[in-house]
Amino acid sequence: MTIAIWVVIGIVVILLFVFIGIYNGLVRLRNQVKNAWAQIDVQLKRRHDLIPNLVETVKGYMKHERGTMEAVTKARTLAQQAASAGVGERAKAEGELSSALTRLLAVAERYPDLKASQNFLALQEELTSTENKISFSRQFYNDSVLRYNNQTQMFPSNVVASMASFKPGEFFEVTVAAEREAPKVSFT
């Protein structure tokens, strides 16, 4: 009788430890997803900050491209407004901004004076790099979400996840087709 009680207590204690271990693992993964998201946020903000500078530099050279420049400014405003929205909506707004920027940079290729300006070259480097950082941070974020979601769906951690209500993470997908491909620039 007493042995049976001890066995039951032992099993309960072991289960408790397993539960704690799995729970902590899930929390760690969820925090990683959060950190990765914060990284994307930093990079998107940096891009928003670069745009007024870019428009200012480009304005003097590209007098006849008002529409392209206005599209970028507008897309930036929309993206900034979407900053507090959900992952999906935000991805969409940022995708629009990306394609507007790509168009502006493609048009800039037609202005040799602009392309030779030191200021523009420096800005272009920053912009290229920020685009890269956005896609790298998105890559890391999606990898983290995948790992976290796998853990919340696989046995036995899915039991713990549903008990402690761990919600699955949302992927940061690019919805605009133009942004999927790296901008193609011709030098002819």
| Selected range binding another protein among 10-18, 64-72, 74-82, 139-147, rule: CB under 8 A | 139-147
5-18 b/e (C-beta count within 10 Å ≥ 16 → b): eeeeeeeeeeeeee
Instruction: Give the Cα separation of 72 and 113 in Å (integer).
Output: 21
Among 8, 12, 27, 182, binds another protein (CB under 8 A): 182
Q: According to CB under 8 A, which residues from 2 to 61 bind another protein?
A: 32, 35-36, 39, 43
**Could you say which of 41, 113, 143, 173 contacts another protein (CB under 8 A)?**
143
Angstrom distance (rounded) from CA 180 to CA 106: 16
Phi, psi for 85 (deg, rounded to 5) = -80, -175
Contact letters (x/-) for another protein, 79-118, by CB under 8 A? Answer: ----------------------------------------
Reduced to 3 states (helix: H, G, I; strand: E, B; else coil), residue 61 is coil
Single residue of 23, 61, 77, 126 touching another protein by CB under 8 A: 126
